[in-house]
A and B are shown apart, each in its own frame.
Chain A
Amino acid sequence: MIVLLLMIFATVILIEVPGMLKKNMRRELIAFFVLIALGMALSIPQALGVKIPSPTKPIEALFRPLSKLLK
């Protein structure tokens, strides 16, 4: 699973980066790597079986008081 995931990331980088380097798109390159890093941070722990806190939880805590209106 983890090998497959890393292979996917490697392929995506191999496909996208050369074109951006050729066209000298620095901002795009930075944005690309930031997003890829975020994607890695979210997916690799999941592949290893580590639990990441879900963003749903804080949202739920924040809006729970209002939800009583729908009862």
Chain B
Amino acid sequence: MKEEEKLSSVQVFFLALNFFLASAFILMPSAVAATAGRDGWAAILIAAGAGILLSKLYAALCIRFSGRTIILFAQDIAGEIPGKIMGLLFAWFALHLGALVLRNFGDFMVISLMPCTPLIVFNSVIMLIAAMAVYRGLEVLCRFNLMLMPVILVSMAVIIIFCFTIPNFDAAKLLPLFENGFSRVLKTSLIPMTFPFGEGVLFLMIFPNMSNSGDAKKIMAGAIIASAMIIASITAETVAVFGSNAKNFVYSTHSMIRCIELAEIFERTDTLTIVIWILSGLIKISVCLYAFVKGCTQLFALKDYRPIVIPSGIIMTALSILVYENVIEQTEFASKIWPFYSLVFELLLPLMLITLDSVKKVF
């Protein structure tokens, strides 16, 4: 094994922040509007609370088994064969998530930017860059992310501030609060809890590389709070601009940003969405690819993960093309099936491992 790459806490914080923000910034407003109506922002804040609890679970696992990833400690806890099955499931989750993010990425580019270009062009180009980043190692990925972060955060800040200037903007559209009852908001919060906050389970593959893994809990909680504030404010703004129509857009963030016209000189800010989408989508896909590749390396006891990066990238790209037939199917899957399907990997698997381990310690 090559010398372990060590990451600082700041690097992991920004990696997690970008990971949570990536596709949620564009997709979340429409996703929560469908079931929670105008109270989507509240669902996101509740989900952030649940996400912090989840990340506490991950951090507890990470501290208990410092220096080992979920693939390795699953085998320690559950025995070799069940542990390997859990590891395989986890690797599948990373692969599937990566493919879905890649598909979202390509779909957005095709629908809102270049409708005549085939999907595979965007997917393979972004995968090429992601594979390159993963090939160079986790440390390079983190530094790359740190370099992109100012661009992404400034673009988001510009968008959030300038949306107040849209003529249709009226904060009164957010009222009345909880008109369909609070339970509906609670139910909806399952969507943002599993996407993006619960997806932080992939960081179980990255925590062992931190130089100070005791910080994991603080880092994840901080990243979740920061990203939840940004996503909740953009969601509230889409409702303030579009009212109850917000749920009818596939990408309501993007449609809202198109409306920004400031003093006739500051127009066409929708390029900023594309900048955010490409840069942070790239990082999210890289993290998924890294988790899958690292998972396979440890499952099959390989010495080096570099040789399997490119084949894994090819599998992910091929999978991203065939997972859905169209965007409607994707929205359906993301809002109805994903919350329950992903919960198996995000909550059930880690919870099972930690209970098994605690029971083992008692006896």
Contact = CB atoms under 8 A, between A and B. Distances in A.
B320 to A, nearest CB: 10
Interface stretch (B213-221, B251-259, B295-303, B349-357): B295-303
Contact of B303 (A25, A60, A67): A25
A55 B96 contact: yes
B144 interface: no
A12 B310 contact: yes
A55 B96 CA distance: 9
A33 B336 CA distance: 36
Q: Is the interface on chain A under 10, 10 to 19, 20 to 34, or 35 or more residues?
A: 20 to 34
Contacts of B310: 12, 15-16
A7 interface: no
A56 B103 CA distance: 13
Given A28-B302, A63-B341, A67-B336, A35 B318 contact: no
Interface stretch (B7-15, B54-62, B321-329): B321-329
A3 interface: no
Given A27-B300, A28-B302, A42 B308 contact: no
A55 B340 contact: no
Nearest to A38: B315
Contact of B323 (A16, A55, A69, A70): A55
A64 B296 CA distance: 30
Contact of A35 (B308, B325, B335): B308
Contacts of A60: 333, 337
Contacts of A29: 307
B35 interface: yes
29 contacts: A12-B310, A16-B307, A16-B310, A25-B303, A27-B300, A27-B301, A28-B302, A28-B307, A31-B296, A31-B307, A32-B311, A35-B311, A35-B314, A36-B314, A38-B315, A39-B314, A39-B318, A42-B315, A54-B323, A54-B325, A56-B324, A56-B329, A59-B337, A59-B341, A62-B341, A67-B337, A70-B188, A70-B191, A70-B335
What are the 10 A-B residue pairs with the smallest beta carbon separation, nearest first? A35-B311, A42-B318, A39-B314, A43-B318, A67-B336, A66-B340, A63-B340, A39-B315, A36-B311, A28-B307
Interface of A: 8-9, 12, 15-16, 19-20, 25, 27-29, 31-32, 35-36, 38-39, 42-43, 46, 52, 54-56, 59-60, 62-64, 66-67, 69-70
Interface of B: 35, 96, 187-188, 190-191, 296, 300-304, 307-308, 310-312, 314-315, 317-319, 321-325, 329, 333, 335-337, 339-341
